[in-house]
Every structure is written in structure tokens, then in C-alpha cells.
Structure 1
Amino acid sequence: MDCACCVSSKRRQFLGAITALAGGVMAGVSATAAQAASTITTGVTRSIDIHAHYYPESYCDLVGGDGKKFGGRFTCDASSFSFQTPAGALGPLPMKFIDVDERLKDMDGSGVDIQALSLSVPMAYWGDRAFNAKLASTWNDAASKVYLQHPARFVVLATLPMLNASDAIDELDRAAELPGVRGVYMGTNINNRDLDDPLFEPVFKRIEQHKLPVFLHPQQTVGGSRLADFYLSNLLGNPFDTAIAGSHLILGGVLDRHPELQVTLPHAGGALPILMGRIDAGWTTRPETRWLAQKPSSYLRRFSYDTVSHSGPVLDFLIQNIGIDRLVLGSDYCFDMGYEQPVRFLDRLALPPEQRNLVLGGNAAKLLRI
């Protein structure tokens, strides 16, 4: 690619460091992991951000390289980069999405001890099967290397090539053994297929067997041209798509078929919690939903919810109606619709210390086995 960032000295230094890490890190994994474990101080709650996006340079290069034949494009300059793919476009985004050193500075400045790294739009659900699998494995390998370099600061939420169930299971089995992987990241829909589609049933079964939590994120959201203005595709499309995904997991029987499956909804559950009374009313009157043995609202505690709501009263609603133990810290790093100071945002809730510590990191530590 002929973009400025791809020939910069900073990029060469980055690639050199990764090459050195790949060549020598495995020999020191045990010592590094032990060092990370020794940083845990009994009685001190570490802040854990479960909603933090990362674009490895190897992933970006793949989108702009092999991805060209599928309509992918990656461009960048000294300060920003952009994606364009059949699954969506994004950017310009700041380079600190890629630069781990800049990320660590931001984490220190915002009081975040640990980030759970995840991919975001355009995810990995495009191209053919082989390219889809390559996108996922490239991201997972790169994120795991970041964990190995900074095991006290990061964990990894693996992405899967969900266009084919067998490919997704193969990558899940492989990624589950990678250092730092603590969960699975998934779109609220997969190439416009909802999550109760039979295609994904064996994948959820295997995820449940691995005892890995699933974290959802909106992509290819509903609304089309009606949400094109005023950034409504994000402001409304994202929370609506989260509500649709959660509803399909409930009404489509996914949560019943997989009773041990743990799912975290982004953006404080989107529109789902506030609309649950209406969904319950439909369950009592409409034959399309009445087959469900329990009312839909009884499933709300099957989900966890991040704090990216931009509203203290919304989070109070979740705490009062679902439970303090289901709320986890999130920032949506480092999108402009996220929090620059996710820890400070908790101060809006006026929680007693023990409850604040649960949201700050206690709940996430249990979920992610940290």
C-alpha cells in the first residue's frame, strides 16, 4: 500500500518489535505470566474495560492487501486511517487504535488497569471462506501478542470467521488456546443473519463447551437510508440492533438451548431493557412469542451490560431492575461516541464502595477469569 503510515519509521519500528516478540516471547511466557499474576494485590479492585477496540497493523494490511479483490480498502496517513469494505466503512480513526504505546498512555490517564481487546466494524464477516478465516486468525494472533507483551494490562476477546460454522469452530478451538484469550467477540448480526439462525447453533454449542463468554457489538445495523442523517445510524441504529440481537437470543431459544452461555450486551443493553415491558406484553398476547416457557424479561439476568450509556439514570435503571452484579465497565475505546474517562463516569451513580468495585472490575474479573 502506498499510504504514508505504511512506510513510516514508526511502522518499521513497530514491525521490528513484533518480529522480535514473535521470535522470543514464547520462551518467556511462563515467567511473564507469573510476573503478571504477581501484580494482583489482594483487596485492590483493578478497573477492567470490557469494551475497547483494537486494530492490529497486520489486520489493516490484510484488509488493504488481500482484501482488495473482495472490495476492501485501507488508507492511512501520519495521524489517521480508514477502512472501506463490503461489510461497512469506518474512519478516519486516530492511529492510537493501532499504537499500543499510545493506548497504554490513555489507559493510565483514564485510570483503566486492564482492557479486553476486541475487533469492531468492519469485523471479519466478508470475503470468501478462506479470507474470512484469515482475517479472524490474523486479528487473534496479533491481539494475543499484545497480551504477551503486556499481560498485566490486556486480555483478548477472539473474533471468529462466522460465515461458515466449521471454520468458526476450528478458529475457536485454536484461539481458545492462545495466551490471553478470555472470551469471544461477535456482531449483533452476521452478514445480516440474526444470531438464532441455525447456521450458528453449533458455534454457540462449542463456545459454551469452552466456557467462554460472548461479547456482542452492533454492525450492519437496521434503518438504512432513514438513519443516514444526523449520525442516526450510530445514535439509534446501534442500540436498536443490540435490542434485536438480544431478542433473537431470547425468543429464538438460544439461551434456553445453551443454559451456560454468558452474553454481554454493549451500550448498556441498547434499547432492550427499556422495551422489555412491551416484549413481555407481546408474550402474553401474541402466538409468535407465546411458545417461550418463561416471560422474556426473566432472561435479562442472562446478560451482562456495559456502562456505555451516556446516562446515569439508565445505569441506575439497570442496577435496580436487573442487578449490580450484571453491570461491567466499558469505554468504547477510542471512538468519539465512547468515554474518555470511563472510570470517572461511575461517579454519576453515587454507589457505595463495594458496589462501585463490582462495576469497576469485580464483575468483569469473574466473567473474564482474571
Structure 2
Amino acid sequence: MDCTCCISPKRRRLLGTMAALAGGFASGLPNASARANATVKGKSIDIHAHYYPESYCELVGSDGDKFGGKFTCDASTFSFQTPAGGLGPLPLKFIRIDERLADMDASGVDVQALSLSVPMAYWADRAFNAKLATTWNTAASAVHVQHPTRFVVLATLPMLNAHDAIDELERASELPGVSGVYMGTNINNRDLDDPLFEPVFARIEQLDLPVFLHPQQTVGGARLTDFYLSNLLGNPFDTAIAGSHLILGGVMDRHPRLNVTLPHAGGALPILMGRIDAGWNVRPETRRLAQKPSSYLRRFNYDTVSHSGPVLDFLIKNIGIDRLVLGSDYCFDMGYEQPVTFLDRLELPPEQKNLILGGNAAQLLKI
């Protein structure tokens, strides 16, 4: 689907290849020397930044039409609609890399980890979901090749078919700039401890790639329709549900080297962990774990998109500053225009602030 009103001219394919960037590290305490080296670089790394490539937009609006996908745009905005939900109108700087770079410079962000938000690759048939993921990953990698010091890639996978997801994982992990995997807090309303996803998590763990989650098709239904509660409450609740399934469903036990980052500062999960621990003490449904649920909190990383300094202070005190990574939710209205200066309210010493700004993410993403 051509959309000359909003898309810049086709990018030229660049020749050459680069070694794949593999991210992630085993759970446990951080390596002090590695973190010190990362901090010395002083780069700010935004791990929660969304991107919609031209080729992906065109695909949703053309071949995706028979599955209920639509893509429209005008001189300044674009919109999506799919059976899994819609977005928009959104600003065109989601698509235009030059405008994105200008925003990054203005906000003090040196590097963005590009990711696909709703609609992800979970809403059509098997072949088209795979094509969506391949198209997005290839296009995002091309942006890294054009700007290797400014962007890395969190690959998307067609998670509704494990064979296809692993095939695309193998292919995408060799693309320039791919440093991790991005997926929904649920996959077309399947929770992440569903046996369907077990072989995918196993291969991700083998490749030592970090996983980053983002809410989609959130809980609440019609009760969250008003007041934008589908986002204000639905997103943090869905993150808490995803984290709980990863813990209580045994995914984190079965994959001890799996490294997962929760969006929106972990959503409701950290603040409710005392209640979940209480349930573990008295409810047989939760007793498949050898350790209490709160002991798994350090298995996760947490972005800074909390909109609350006290929430980040709580995470630092109760989980650890080495588990916080910078995020902006670029460029949604519920994100940060100034993710770097937001950290000023924490009153941290420079070395600790630098860990959140980029040191922790550099370790996580191997950059």
C-alpha cells in the first residue's frame, strides 16, 4: 500500500553485514567491572521506544486487509486497526527516522532499542503473522545499519506458532543490531506460561537474548473503556499478570538464565508482591514454587516509565538499582518527552544515576 502523504522515499538497501549483537546475562548480581566499563561510556540507552517502519505499515494496510488490518494516514498522523486492537492517530515521527533522531538529541537519549508495539504479529493467519515479524525485523535492522551508534533492535516473533517463532528467532538473531526479543504481556489472550511458548523461551535462553514485554489486549474489558483506563490501569495490571504467570507458572524456574524486562516499572507487580507471597503461604494453587514469589523480583528488570519518583525509589530500595533501565515509551502521549531529566527527581549520586541512564542497559544489551 503506497502512502505518499506520510512516508518518506524508500530507503536504499545497504550492502554489507555486521556481526549479530546478542543481549542478556544470567540472573544474579551484576558483574562489577563490566558495569563500571559500561558506565564510563556514559551513554543514555532508552529500552522502551517504539517504531513503525514504512514496509510494516504498508503490509498491514495491503495484504493485512483480508485479516481485518487497516492503515491510514494524512499529512501529520497515521492510524492502525486490527482484530487485536488499534492505535492512532499517531505522529509521523514514529516512522520518520530523522525526526526521531532530532527528538533523541533534544531529550538527551543517545541510543534507542527499537520495538514494535500494538498491533504485534499475533492477529492474522500463520503465514501472515510470520511475514509481519520478518518485515518488521528486517526494516528495524536496516535502521541500525544506517545509524549503528543510535539504534539497536528488539526483534518481534510470530508467537502463535512455536515453529515459526523459532525460525524467525534464528533468522533475526543474525541480523545486524538485534540485541533482544520483544513480545506482548499476553499472546492473543494466551498467558506466557502457556505450553505453546515453552520451546520459544527455551531457544531464547539458549541464545542468551533478553526478553522485553509490553502490554497488549489488556484485561478489564468494558469496565476500563471510560477515562482511558484501558491504558492507565489495564497496562500496569496486564504487566503484573504476565510477571505472575512467568513466576507462578514455573517459566522462570525452568529457564534460570532467562532475563525479562517488565515495562512501566513493573506495573502493579512489585507493590502487590506481599499479597502474592501471602497467597503462596496459604494457597495450594501457588505452591509449585520452591521459593516465595518475591524472591523472583530480581529476576526481572524494570523500566523507568512509572510517572512517579517514589515508585522508582521503592524499586531501588526493595529490588536494586542494578535492575532499573531507562525508558520513554516513545512517542506515545503516556510516555516521557524527557526521560533523562525525569530521573533528576530521584536525587541519586552520579554513578548510580549513570547505571539507570545506560550502564545497566549496556550490560543487558551487550552494547
TM, length-normalised to structure 1: 0.93
Deviations 1:283-340 (A, max 9, x none): 0000100221100000000000000000000000000000000000000000000000
Distance across 2 between alignment mates of 1:43 and 1:192 = 42
Is contact 2:38-2:358 (8 Å) kept? no
Is contact 1:25-1:148 (8 Å) kept? no
Distance across 1 between alignment mates of 2:254 and 2:217 = 26
1:223 to 212, 215, 220: 220
Alignment pair present for 1:26 and 2:23: no
Distance across 1 between alignment mates of 2:366 and 2:4 = 39
1:129 to 126, 131, 140: 126
Is contact 1:328-1:361 (8 Å) kept? yes
Q: Which residue of 1 aligns with 2:323?
A: 326
Alignment pair present for 1:317 and 2:307: no
Distance across 2 between alignment mates of 1:41 and 1:290 = 39
Distance across 2 between alignment mates of 1:163 and 1:106 = 35
Q: Which residue of 1 aligns with 2:200?
A: 203
Is contact 2:179-2:209 (8 Å) kept? yes
SS of 1:314's partner is helix
Deviations 1:87-111 (A, max 9, x none): 1011000000000000000000000
Distance across 1 between alignment mates of 2:313 and 2:9 = 43
Distance across 1 between alignment mates of 2:334 and 2:348 = 24
Deviations 1:75-126 (A, max 9, x none): 0001000000001011000000000000000000000000000000111101
1:286 to 283, 286, 289: 283
Which residue identity does 1:58 align to in structure 2? S
Distance across 2 between alignment mates of 1:43 and 1:187 = 33
Alignment pair present for 1:243 and 2:233: no
SS of 1:7's partner is coil
1:302 to 299, 303, 312: 299
Distance across 2 between alignment mates of 1:111 and 1:46 = 9
SS of 1:348's partner is helix
Is contact 1:327-1:359 (8 Å) kept? yes
Q: Which residue of 2 aligns with 1:351?
A: 348
Is contact 1:217-1:265 (8 Å) kept? yes
Q: Which residue of 1 aligns with 2:184?
A: 187
Q: Which residue of 2 aligns with 1:339?
A: 336
Distance across 2 between alignment mates of 1:211 and 1:226 = 40
Is contact 1:114-1:153 (8 Å) kept? yes
Q: Which residue of 2 aligns with 1:234?
A: 231
Alignment pair present for 1:214 and 2:204: no
Deviations 1:2-31 (A, max 9, x none): 7xxx124x73x530xx1x2x1x4327x58x
Deviations 1:119-140 (A, max 9, x none): 0011110110000000000000
Q: How big is the shift at 1:41?
A: 9.8
Is contact 1:264-1:305 (8 Å) kept? yes
Distance across 1 between alignment mates of 2:38 and 2:81 = 44
Change over 3 Å in CA distance of 1:329–1:42 after alignment to 2 = closer
Paired residue total: 350
Please state which structure has a larger fraction of its residues in helix: 1
Distance across 1 between alignment mates of 2:82 and 2:310 = 37
1:14 to 1, 4, 9: 9
Distance across 1 between alignment mates of 2:92 and 2:265 = 27
Long gaps (5+) in structure 2 = 20-36
Q: Which residue of 2 aligns with 1:171?
A: 168
Is contact 2:121-2:133 (8 Å) kept? yes
